[in-house]
Amino acid sequence: MPEGDTAHRTARRLHEVLAGEVLTAFDLRVPRAATADLTGQRVESVRAVGKHLLHRVGEFVLHTHLKMEGEWHTYPRGDRWRRPAFQARAVLATDEWQTVGFDLGVVELLPRDREGDVIAHLGPDPLGPEWDPDLVTARLAADPHPAHVALLDQHNVAGFGNEYANELLFLRGVDPHTPMSRVDVPALVSLGARAIRSNLTRPVRTFTGDTRRGRDHWVYGRTNLPCRRCGTVIQETTLGDATRERRVFWCPSCQASRD
Query: Nearest 5°: phi and psi at 74?
Result: -120, 135
Give CA–CA dist 21/14, Å, rounded: 11
Give CA–CA dist 111/94, Å, rounded: 22
**Proportion of the chain in helix, strand, coil states, percent, rounded to 5:** 30, 25, 50
Which helix (H) or strand (E) segment holds residue 102: the answer is strand 97-102
| CB-neighbour burial class of residue 116 (10 A; exposed 0-12, middle 13-18, buried 19+) | exposed
Q: Which residues are catalytic?
A: 2-3, 51, 246
